[in-house]
């Protein structure tokens, strides 16, 4: 995908799909352990919320011409490491599982909307130019947008399938 408007439209549609789904569910459904691996819908939203911190940090870095300032996670984890994904995801579950649904939902909304705001403010050339940001190596900044879209969609699809099978 090489068009800023298309990518932002996809992200807005994904946000709207999530919001529509989350608004249809009761808090009991959101907190019931009936999702994949006994995770709740709330746990999945917590997972997406924490990972979205990385995406926002990257877009802010591009916007302010600096290296990404990643959130302070557990000091032993590197959010850039593919090898540590399982450990990071377990840490996210452990640290966010007890958070209230209303606070978590609000945080997810605010972070996703901030992400969209930053994407919209980024010039299209800056989004699409490969190698513009050394910290992204051979990827364009648009890969961050598409990665966030794919991550949200990856978790939305099985959730929708599970809810339709009930």
Instruction: Tell me the per-residue pLDDT of 101-133, one tens digit each, with 9 for 90 and over.
Output: 999 999 999 999 999 999 999 999 999 999 999
Residue 160 lies in a domain: no
Residue 163 lies in a domain: no
Residue 68 lies in a domain: yes
**Is the model more confident about 97 or about 36?**
97
- The total domain count for the chain is 1
* Burial profile 68-95: b = 16 or more Cβ within 10 angstroms, e = fewer: bebeebeeeeebeeeeeeeebeebbbee
Residue 57 lies in a domain: yes
pLDDT at 4: 95
Q: Which domain holds residue 22?
A: 4-154
Give the pair of three-digit tokens for residue 39.
Answer: 């995770």
Q: Output the average pLDDT for the chain.
A: 89
Answer whether residue 47 shows pLDDT above 90: yes
Summarize the confidence of residues 9-34 as an average pLDDT.
Answer: 91
Give the pair of three-digit tokens for residue 84.
Answer: 């540590």
In angstroms, the CA 61 to CA 43 distance is 28
**Is the model more confident about 43 or about 77?**
43
pLDDT at 100: 95
Residue 62 lies in a domain: yes
Residue 93 lies in a domain: yes
Q: What is the pTM of this model?
A: 0.90
Q: What is the pLDDT of residues 48-64, one digit of tens each?
A: 999 999 999 999 999 99
Answer whether residue 159 shows pLDDT above 90: no
pLDDT at 154: 92
List of residues 6+ apart from 23 with CB closer than 8 A: none
Residue 161 lies in a domain: no
Which residue shows structure tokens 């890969």?
Answer: 143
Cβ pair 149, 7 in contact under 8 A: yes
In angstroms, the CA 10 to CA 133 distance is 23
The CATH number of the domain where 48 resides is what? 1.20.120.450
Cβ pair 71, 56 in contact under 8 A: no
Residue 162 lies in a domain: no
Check the CA dihedral 86-87-90-92 and report its sign: negative
């Amino acid at each position: 995908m090489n068009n800023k408007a298309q990518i932002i439209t996809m992200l807005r549609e994904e946000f709207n799909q999530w919001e529509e789904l989350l608004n249809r569910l009761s808090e009991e459904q959101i907190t019931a352990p009936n999702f994949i691996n006994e995770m709740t819908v709330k746990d999945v939203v917590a997972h997406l919320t924490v990972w979205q911190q990385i995406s926002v940090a990257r877009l802010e870095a591009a916007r302010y011409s600096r290296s990404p300032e990643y959130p302070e996670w557990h000091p032993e984890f590197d959010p850039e490491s593919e090898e540590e994904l399982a450990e990071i995801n377990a840490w996210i579950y452990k640290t966010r599982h007890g958070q209230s649904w209303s606070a978590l939902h609000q945080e997810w909304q605010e972070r996703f909307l901030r992400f969209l705001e930053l994407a919209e403010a980024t010039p299209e050339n800056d989004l699409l130019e490969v190698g513009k940001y050394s910290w992204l190596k051979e990827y364009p900044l648009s890969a961050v947008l598409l990665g966030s879209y794919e991550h949200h969609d990856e978790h939305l699809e099985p959730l929708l399938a599970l809810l339709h099978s009930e």
